[in-house]
Structure 1
Amino acid sequence: MKKITFIIPLLLCISIVGCSYTDTKSSSTKPFKRESPPVIDISSNDTVTNDCFYTGENLTETEKSNIPFMAIIENSKDARPQSGLSEADIVFETMAEGGIPRFIALFHKNTPKQIGPIRSVRPYFLSIAEEYNLPFAHCGGSAEALSTIKADSSIKSINEIANGAYFYRDASRKAPHNLYTSADKIRKYITSNNIKIDITSNLSFDNSFWKNEDLANATVVNLKLNNFYTTNYKFVNGKYEKYMDGVKSIDKNNNIPLSFTNIVVQQTPIKIQSDNLHLDIAMIGKGSGYLFSNGKVEKILWSRTTSNTQTELTTADGNKVYLAKGNTIWHIIDNSVTPTYN
């Protein structure tokens, strides 16, 4: 694992939005052997790597100084096309209520001028933000997520309800699908509040991994996640272009198609709570999945032992797995869903 420390304090922002949620953890998880990560002080330019920890790509001098953060972004049909996703390093996608998907996107290398629509947090999004130890922008959240934020001062919540100056409404869209922010606004909040950030990443990148001729071809990837949402990908010019419900996805900021170098599919138990609405998504434990890149596929295993460790990815036989250098979309789906590809 690679690690960088930003010496930057935190104002927690809390709102009251009713929901309930119960975290699910795997009691059968065995500890995964991890290397002790180096700690790199970001204040010394001599110690900053030229590679982005989240994409493996080279960073310019300006990009090196960018503060990484995350943002929870709506993915209902009324929210499309979203803004900023084409500039994210990693986009995580999973389900919210009613079979509607939602993103939490990680930004480091780039500085999008508009990000959104921003929506509310759930416990499993907290788990992802905690995994990468990053501040995240959101607007409100479920009762349990907000209770967790209130109880844990280490969680780097940037809640619009308490920090409206760092967000804005776009008059061209109808509420609640019109709340936005920008990379500059979120980074200004982080520096103004002296938030401490320890950048950690155990992702490994090696383009040569995908030159293995024994890997199966996968130039089309399909994910039918429920009766209300289907997403698929077509491999074009070295990247996977994303489609949602049969429509090519674009970024509202620049009209660029959403395309990704890597697609991670992480299968895990997802259950409906007793209210028949909210979800339990098991983020701690182990399971199987798929990694797509360069028009090929590798079946993988994932493992995460505790809330403050990162998800480890290996090949099905336990060897190290490598992403190709570039951006990634990371699907967290139920065990009952299997991607199809050809």
Structure 2
Amino acid sequence: MTADVVLIECFDEHHRVIVRERLELNNDSRTLTIGRSLHADVILDDEHAAEMHATIEITPDGTILASDLGSLNGLVVERKRHYQAENLALPSNTLQIGRTTISFRTSADSLPAEKPDHVRLARFWHKPAWIAGASGLVAVVMTIYENWLTAPNDLAVAVTTGLAWLTLFIAGWVALWALLSRIMLGSWRWLVHAAIILGVAVIFDIVLELTDLGGFVFTVPDIPGSQLLLSTIALGAVLYLHLRAASRLGMRRAALLACILPVLVFGFGQWITIRSAAQNVNAVGAFMRIYPPGLRLRTAAPPDTYFDDLADLRKTAEKKRDALPASENGGGLGLFGL
């Protein structure tokens, strides 16, 4: 297939298009020059490129070959630098000269299929402003609801304080990731990072509420470490989405960091807290909310079963007390030899 037309796109180090040219080819001239000189076919505004840096030959079958013209920095193909290269094939039709990445597309290249743009719901959820706005509204409602459940003396003050702390935390978190985006990508992406933290936080809070309510309705005992697991998953999801939006990390590296950091920073600390509470006979293991009895789908246990369970709890507490060192459970001679 003859490549009669070539589209050349130049990207800066933040992967923003700075040059886009469409050039026509013929059988007599299928070679292009790239450099900073005015005599080059493709002119680069890059101080790390030579005046005449490279030549590009496009064969009739669409293959692209690059040759170095004796430059200082050479050519970078597939993250590997080549000096004095001649007729170097470009597997992905991409070449880096200096800090500029150059992409070539010929008429021999096939384009991906057109993406649908007629589903309104899809357009809604792909807009970070809509996601951030909807999640923020839900976060405000849930903050008011959770403060109302605590029955404070002054509901207005409690809600205002809660919303103020929530706003400060979200603003600081978004500003941190927006600054990282500015450094890594050259753009702030305020709405994207706001949508990420608000969306995941709202989903996490809703899941916790439903888990708590479901445990009461179906009379399911609290599973040790369930909240820790959900918190670690939520933090990992937030980090993964932020890393993907604020940097050029691939999916694997971002997922690896999102799995390691929550476990080290958050999960390990919570694990120590749980282990310490297990050695404390006065620790309360569950803080379940009390809902209307009519929501339960199972009848209450008879009194005999209730008192039998209390006896089992006493045995468990005594075992924990006996396992403690003598200095902690009151054993030993003590100060007066008692």
Measured against the shorter chain, the TM-score band is under 0.3
Of Structure 1 and Structure 2, which has the larger fraction of its residues in helix? 2
Give the structure, 1 or 2, with the largest relative contact order (CA under 8 Å, sep 6 or more).
Answer: 1
TM-score by length of 2: 0.23
Of Structure 1 and Structure 2, which has the larger fraction of its residues in strand? 1
